């Protein structure tokens, strides 16, 4: 079976026709005559109504089988994170031996008033499948979608992000091969010959010890190790170096262990969630997710240095090393869904996340993506919606 092939292109031209022409020409050059099975497109809102027929035009020009994408605050491709300017980022993949199935989903109110999803992705053999997804943050309850998928198709990774840059409902555009959608979610299921390795860098580092939840209620942590949770938090804070105290005081986080059977933890074992409040009356802390008794919790802090180090480490350990021959004809590729609170808002080095991806993998692999209003990816084998995260879908030839 032939190897996969990947390509990417970026244009920051303010004129929409020029941007599309430039990006297409670059993509076609990198594809060198190959017909892509999948095209992914991300565009800033600067291009307005010109985006309504972007998907059909790209499919006709490239002969692509499937296409999806969305509007974004800023886009990423190649070596650049194009922040605060017009941008069109294209990514294409030739995936021999891989079935690429487009899907779209909408939300509706169930009989109990809770949001429900009209359909799940067309998963075949779960062990061979992965899902790529973009969604509108105003109309699509992605947490509900992921919970259903986790329950029905355990272990199938979902990678993607929430469209960004819109100020209200109806302003996000989701691209498809036959036009745009203004609500819901679109994406593809990949099944077969390509391997997707999910890398989810939540950008935090642990401080103090891990603790076991001994009393809780929904998202309220009442006791850790039999002691009042607030007391444990303050004790941890008092023992920190001054710089970490300042970080924890301004923006405290907790890591919730996903695997209840583990007693020793590594990177990727914790789901990062913010601390919402401290309750003096009952000495408890509120966190931004439900907790359960017996679950382990780790206090965390986040800064630019720890976020960068975490991304580089996870790319090297989970994304894999160089792909032989990839420099001549790219046999590996990556999609990068980075939080819109990262980029120049977090790092002093320009093009930080995409630079980490390229250096942490082959150095020359085609990368594209966007700054999202929420990033999707698995932690501990279950899919979640994250914040301040770099979620990287790494595609490589499947190992025999």
Q: For 109-147, how does the pLDDT look when each residue is reduced to its tens digit (9 = 90+)?
A: 877 777 888 889 999 999 999 999 999 999 999 999 999
Does 260 or 43 have the greater pLDDT score?
43
Q: Which residues contact 49 (CB under 8 A, 6 or more apart)?
A: none
**Pairwise CA distance, residues 352 & 341, whole Å:** 13
158 versus 302: which is more confidently predicted?
A: 158
pLDDT at residue 322 greater than cutoff 70 = no
Structure tokens at 190: 């990949």
Question: Do 208 and 320 belong together in one domain?
Answer: no
pLDDT of residue 265: 74
Range of the domain at 231: 204-301
Tens digit of pLDDT for each residue in 215-225?
999 999 999 99
pTM of structure: 0.92
Q: Domain check: are 44 and 142 in the same one? A: yes
Q: What is the per-residue pLDDT for 316?
A: 85
What's the CA gap between 361 and 330, in Å, rounded? 12
SS3 of the chain: helix, strand, coil, percent, to 5? 25, 40, 35
Average pLDDT along the chain: 92
Contacts of 241 (CB under 8 A, 6+ apart): none
Asked if residues 172 and 134 have their Cβ atoms less than 8 Å apart, the reply is no
The Cα angle at residue 306 between residues 305 and 307, in degrees rounded to 5: 90
Q: What is the pLDDT of residue 19?
A: 97
Residues 195 and 208 both lie in one domain: no
Last residue of a domain, one of 237, 268, 301: 301
State whether 346 and 240 are in the same domain: no
Given a cut of 60, whether residue 386 has pLDDT beyond it is yes
Together in a domain, 48 and 140: yes
- Does one domain contain both 49 and 167? yes
Flag whether pLDDT at 400 surpasses 80: no
Domain boundary among 268, 301, 334: 301
Residues 6+ apart with CB under 8 A from 111: none
Question: Average pLDDT for residues 208-230, to the nearest whole number?
Answer: 94
pLDDT at 387 over 80: yes
159 and 50 share one domain: yes
Q: How many Å apart are CA 350 and CA 348, to the nearest integer?
A: 6
Tokens of 375: 């990033």
- Give the pLDDT score at 324: 55
pLDDT at 13 over 80: yes
Same domain, 189 and 79: yes
Confidence class for position 363, pLDDT limits 50, 70, 90: low
Query: What's the number of domains the chain is made of?
Result: 2
13 and 77 belong to one structural domain: yes
pLDDT at 2 over 90: no
Same domain, 165 and 49: yes
Q: What is the pLDDT of residue 266?
A: 73
Q: Mean pLDDT over residues 105-109, rounded? A: 90
Pairing of strands 227-228, 367-372: unpaired
Answer positive or negative: Cα dihedral of 313, 315, 316, 317: positive
Please report the pLDDT score of residue 323 as a whole number. Answer: 61
Asked whether residue 22 falls in the same domain as residue 143, the answer is yes
Determine the angle formed by the axes of helices 304-314 and 352-360, rounding to 10 degrees.
30
Residue that terminates a domain, selected from 242, 269, 301: 301
Banded model confidence at residue 193, pLDDT cuts 50, 70, 90: confident
Predicted pLDDT of residue 259: 77
1 confidence band (pLDDT: 50, 70, 90): low
17 and 47 housed in the same domain: yes
């Amino acid at each position: 079976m032939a190897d996969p092939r990947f390509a990417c292109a970026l244009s920051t031209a303010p004129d929409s026709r020029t941007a599309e022409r430039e990006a297409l020409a670059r993509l076609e050059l990198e594809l060198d005559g190959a017909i892509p099975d999948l095209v992914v497109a991300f565009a800033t809102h600067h291009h307005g109504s010109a985006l309504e027929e972007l998907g059909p035009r790209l499919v006709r020009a490239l002969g692509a089988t499937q296409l999806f994408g969305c509007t974004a605050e800023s886009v990423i491709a190649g070596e650049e994170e194009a922040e605060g300017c017009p941008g069109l980022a294209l990514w294409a993949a030739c995936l021999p031996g891989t079935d690429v199935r487009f899907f779209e989903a909408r939300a509706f109110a169930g009989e109990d008033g809770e949001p429900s999803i009209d359909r799940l992705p067309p998963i075949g053999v779960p062990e061979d499948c992965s899902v790529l997804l973009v969604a509108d943050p105003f109309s699509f309850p992605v947490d509900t979608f992921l919970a259903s998928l986790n329950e029905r198709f355990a272990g199938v990774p979902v990678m993607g992000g929430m469209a960004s840059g819109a100020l209200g409902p109806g302003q996000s555009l989701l691209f498809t091969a036959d036009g745009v959608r203004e609500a819901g979610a679109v994406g593809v299921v990949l099944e077969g010959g390509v391997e997707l390795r999910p890398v989810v860098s939540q950008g935090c580092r642990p401080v103090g010890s891990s603790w076991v939840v001994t009393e809780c209620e929904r998202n309220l942590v009442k006791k850790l190790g039999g002691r009042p949770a607030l007391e444990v938090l303050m004790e941890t804070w008092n023992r920190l170096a001054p710089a970490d105290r300042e970080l924890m005081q301004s923006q405290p986080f907790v890591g919730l262990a996903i695997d209840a059977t583990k007693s020793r933890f590594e990177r990727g074992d914790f789901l990062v969630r913010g601390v919402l409040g401290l309750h003096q009356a009952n000495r408890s802390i509120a966190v931004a997710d439900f907790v359960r008794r017996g679950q382990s919790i780790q206090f965390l802090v986040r800064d630019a240095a720890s976020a960068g180090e975490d991304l580089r480490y996870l790319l090297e350990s989970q994304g894999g090393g160089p792909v032989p021959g990839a420099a001549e004809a790219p046999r590996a590729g990556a999609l990068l869904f980075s939080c819109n609170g990262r980029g120049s808002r977090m790092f002093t080095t320009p093009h930080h996340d995409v630079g980490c991806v390229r250096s942490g993998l082959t150095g020359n692999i085609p990368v594209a993506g966007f700054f999202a209003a929420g990033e999707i990816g698995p932690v501990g084998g279950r899919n979640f919606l994250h914040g301040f995260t770099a979620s990287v879908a790494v595609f490589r030839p499947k190992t025999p």
